[in-house]
Chains A and B, each alone.
Chain A
Amino acid sequence: AGVTQTPRYLIKTRGQQVTLRCSPKSGHDTVSWYQQALGQGPQFIFQYYEEEERQRGNFPDRFSGHQFPNYSSELNVNALLLGDSALYLCASSQHLSGRERYFGPGTRLTVT
């Protein structure tokens, strides 16, 4: 099975909080999250391995995450802004041994 993300679509109101979920590809232990604004390339948010955040991109603390013992992951965004509207992508890989990133289909978040 590949990378799965839920939900696929989400509409939230400014100021609300949202949680997105990701299940990595079988055999993968590292999960990365990306934000892709319309017409742009994906921007790295953070990466989780062994249930800890290992690297972080230039995103505010409103963006937080979690990785569970089964390697699945959550992305949480607090105090949503209109500018948070984007496709949120989850990618999984094998730590150290794998450079290939397998991406999920993404969650399309719309903030109104």
Chain B
Amino acid sequence: QQQVKQSPQSLIVQKGGISIINCAYENTAFDYFPWYQQFPGKGPALLIAIRPDVSEKKEGRFTISFNKSAKQFSLHIMDSQPGDSATYFCAASNSGGYQKVTFGTGTKLQVIP
């Protein structure tokens, strides 16, 4: 059962443009929503994360928007650069001592010059 749905599967953006990746979740017990960036041959690296008590979090060119009522959240990459070309995963986990992370299916982003 897929608990975190992610779209689009792939995305091509011009350099300097805005990349937007969307995710939706089903489990209302989730209370931590990280985004991971993965380059080929590497493990996922934490990019930015948000808790449901805020609607937006910004770190540099990366912004998470969160809509708790709709159970949706999105990643915006402003001024996208070729170095941002990677696969991005949204994820979710719940409180508790042993929190497993549930990942989306990933979005392959290509930023073209």
Could you list which residues of chain A lie within 8 angstroms of chain B, going by C-beta atoms? Answer: 3, 32, 34, 39-44, 47, 49, 54-55, 57, 89, 91, 95-96, 99-106
Contacts and interface: CB of A to CB of B under 8 A. Distances in A.
Contacts of B89: 41-42
B73 interface: no
A104 B103 CA distance: 16
Interface of B: 4, 6, 32, 34, 36, 41-46, 49, 89, 91, 93, 97-106
Contact of B42 (A40, A43, A57, A105): A105
A41 B97 contact: no
B49 A99 contact: yes
B93 to A, nearest CB: 7
Given A40-B106, A100-B46, A103-B43, 10 more contacts: A32-B101, A34-B103, A42-B44, A44-B100, A47-B100, A55-B100, A96-B97, A100-B34, A103-B45, A104-B43
